[in-house]
Amino acid sequence: MAETTIYDKSSPGRRGVRFPQPDVPLTKLPESLMRKELPLPEVSENEVVRHFTRLSQLNYGVDIGFYPLGSCTMKYNPKVNEAAARLPGFALIHPLQPVDTVQGALHLMYELQEHLKEIGGFAGMTLQPAAGAHGELTGVLIIKKFHEVNGEPQRNKILIPDSAHGTNPATSAMSGFKVVEIPSDGRGNVDLEALRAECDETLAGFMLTNPNTLGLFDENVCDISALVHEAGGLMYGDGANMNALLGIAKPGEFGVDIMHYNLHKTFSTPHGGGGPGSGPVGVCERLVDFLPGPVVVAETIDDGFEMPFYRFDVPKYSIGRMKAFHGHFGMMVRAYAYILAHGAEGLREVSEYAVLNANYLMHKLKGVYKLPYDRVCMHEFVIEGRWSGIEDIHALDISKRLMDYGFHPPTNYFPLIVREALMIEPTETESIETLDAFAEAMLRIAEEAKTNPEILHEAPHNTPIGRLDEVQAAKNLILCCGLPTQYAE
Amino acid sequence: MYHPHTESDREEMLKAIGKSSIEQLFDAVPKAFRFPELKLPPRLTEMEAMGLLQDLAEGNETSRDLPMFLGAGAYNHYIPAAVDFILKRGEFYTAYTPYQPEISQGTLQAIFEFQSHVVNLTGMEVSNASHYDGATAAAEALNMARMVSRNKRTKAVISPALHPHYRETIDTYIQGENFTVVGPELDPASSPDALFGLIDEDTAVVMVQYPDFFGRIYDLSALAEKAHAVGALLSVSVNPLALAMFKSPGEYDADIVSGEGQPLGIPLSYGGPYLGLLATKEKYVRTIAGRLVGETVDVNGKSGYVLTLSTREQHIKRDKAGSNICSNQGLMMLAATVYVSLLGREGLKEVAALNYHKAHYAAEQIASLDGFELWSDAVFFNEFAVRCPMPVAELNEELLDAGIIGGLDLGDAYPGMENVMLVAVTEMTSKEDIDYLVTALQEVANG
* pLDDT tens readout for residues B158-171: 999 999 999 999 99
Determine the pLDDT at residue A393. 96
Determine the pLDDT at residue A307. 80
Q: Tell if the CB–CB gap between A467 and B299 is shorter than 8 Å.
A: yes
Using alpha carbons, select from B191, B244, B196 the residue that is nearest to residue B219: B191
Q: Tell if the CB–CB gap between A268 and B2 is shorter than 8 Å.
A: yes
Question: Which site among A8, A52, A182 would you substitute to test the B interface, given the most B Cβ atoms closer than 10 Å to its Cβ?
Answer: A52
Query: Are A140 and A149 a contacting pair, CB within 8 Å?
Result: no
What pLDDT, in 10s, does the model give residues B284-337?
999 998 899 999 999 999 999 999 988 766 666 667 767 777 778 999 999 999
- Fold observed for domain A343-473: Aspartate Aminotransferase, domain 1 (3.90.1150)
pLDDT at A249 over 90: yes
How far is it, in rounded angstroms, from Cα A307 to Cα B59?
Answer: 12
CA distances from residue A288 to A63, A203, A298, B29 in whole angstroms, order as listed: 39, 21, 16, 27
Residue type at A144?
A: K
Query: Are B400 and A88 a contacting pair, CB within 8 Å?
Result: no
* Element containing residue A312 per DSSP (H, E): strand A309-313
What pLDDT, in 10s, does the model give residues A30-77?
999 999 999 999 999 999 999 999 999 999 999 999 999 999 999 999
Nearest-by-Cβ selection for B43 from A27, A77, A341:
A341
Q: Right CATH number for B81-339 from 3.40.640.10, 2.40.50.140, 3.30.390.50, 3.40.630.10?
A: 3.40.640.10
CA distances from residue B88 to A270, A379, A383, B22, B78 in whole angstroms, order as listed: 11, 28, 35, 36, 18
pLDDT at A305 over 70: no
pLDDT at A301 over 80: no
How far the first Cα of chain A sits from its last, in Å, is 29
How far is it, in rounded angstroms, from Cα A254 to Cα A248?
Answer: 12
How far is it, in rounded angstroms, from Cα B305 to Cα B298?
Answer: 9
Percent of all residues in chain B with a pLDDT value above 90, rounded to a whole number = 93
Query: Are B126 and B289 a contacting pair, CB within 8 Å?
Result: no
CB contact B81 to A (< 8 Å): no
Q: Right CATH number for B344-445 from 3.40.50.1100, 1.10.357.10, 3.90.1150.10, 3.40.50.2300?
A: 3.90.1150.10
Rounded to a whole number, what is the distance in Å from the CA of B223 to chain A's nearest CA?
A: 15
How far is it, in rounded angstroms, from Cα B115 to Cα B126?
Answer: 7
Determine the pLDDT at residue B313. 65
What pLDDT, in 10s, does the model give residues B184-238?
999 999 999 999 999 999 999 999 999 999 999 999 999 999 999 999 999 999 9
pLDDT at A235 over 90: yes
The answer for residues whose C-beta is within 8 angstroms of residue B267's C-beta and 6 or more apart is A91, A92, A330, B79
Cβ contacts of B273 on chain A, cutoff 8 Å:
130, 275-276, 278, 328-331
Under the banding of pLDDT at 50, 70 and 90, the label for residue A489 is very low
pLDDT at B73 over 90: yes
A80-340: in CATH 3.10.129.10:
no
Under the banding of pLDDT at 50, 70 and 90, the label for residue A256 is very high
How far is it, in rounded angstroms, from Cα B298 to Cα B101?
Answer: 10
> Nearest 5°: CA angle at B424, between B418 and B428?
150
CB contact B281 to A (< 8 Å): no
Determine the pLDDT at residue B315. 67
What pLDDT, in 10s, does the model give residues A126-136?
999 999 999 99
How far is it, in rounded angstroms, from Cα A435 to Cα A438?
Answer: 5
Determine the pLDDT at residue A483. 78
Q: Tell if the CB–CB gap between B268 and A72 is shorter than 8 Å.
A: no
- Can you tell me the mean pLDDT for B2-16? 97
pTM over 0.90: yes
- Return the domain boundaries, chain A: 80-340, 343-473
> What's the mean pLDDT when you consider all of chain B?
96
pLDDT at A488 over 60: no
Nearest-by-Cβ selection for B92 from A172, A216, A273:
A273
* Strand arrangement of the beta sheet that strand A411-412 belongs to: A381-384, A421-424, A411-412
Q: Are strands B126-127 and B276-280 parallel, antiparallel or unpaired?
A: antiparallel
Q: Tell if the CB–CB gap between B46 and A248 is shorter than 8 Å.
A: no
Buried b (16+ CB within 10 A) or exposed e, A51-81: bbbebbebbbbbbbebbbbbbbbbbbbbebb
Strand, coil or helix: A295: strand
* Element containing residue B358 per DSSP (H, E): helix B330-367
**Widest pairwise Cα distance in chain A:** 80
- Return the domain boundaries, chain B: 81-339, 344-445
Q: Tell if the CB–CB gap between B113 and A18 is shorter than 8 Å.
A: no
A349-352 LR contacts (CB < 8 Å, sep 24+):
A349/A428, A349/B1, A349/B3, A350/A243, A350/A246, A350/A428, A350/B3, A351/A243, A351/A244, A351/A245, A351/A246, A351/A247, A351/A248, A351/A379, A351/A428, A352/A248, A352/A428, A352/B22, A352/B25
How far the first Cα of chain B sits from its last, in Å, is 57
- Can you tell me the mean pLDDT for A359-371? 97
Query: Are B131 and B329 a contacting pair, CB within 8 Å?
Result: yes
Strand, coil or helix: A207: strand
Query: Do B344-445 and B81-339 fall under one CATH topology?
Result: no
Cβ contacts of A409 on chain B, cutoff 8 Å:
100
E-assigned strand segments in A188-286: 203-209, 234-238, 258-260, 281-283
Rounded to a whole number, what is the distance in Å from the CA of A389 to chain B's nearest CA?
A: 27
Under the banding of pLDDT at 50, 70 and 90, the label for residue A2 is confident
CB pairs under 8 A between A and B: 668
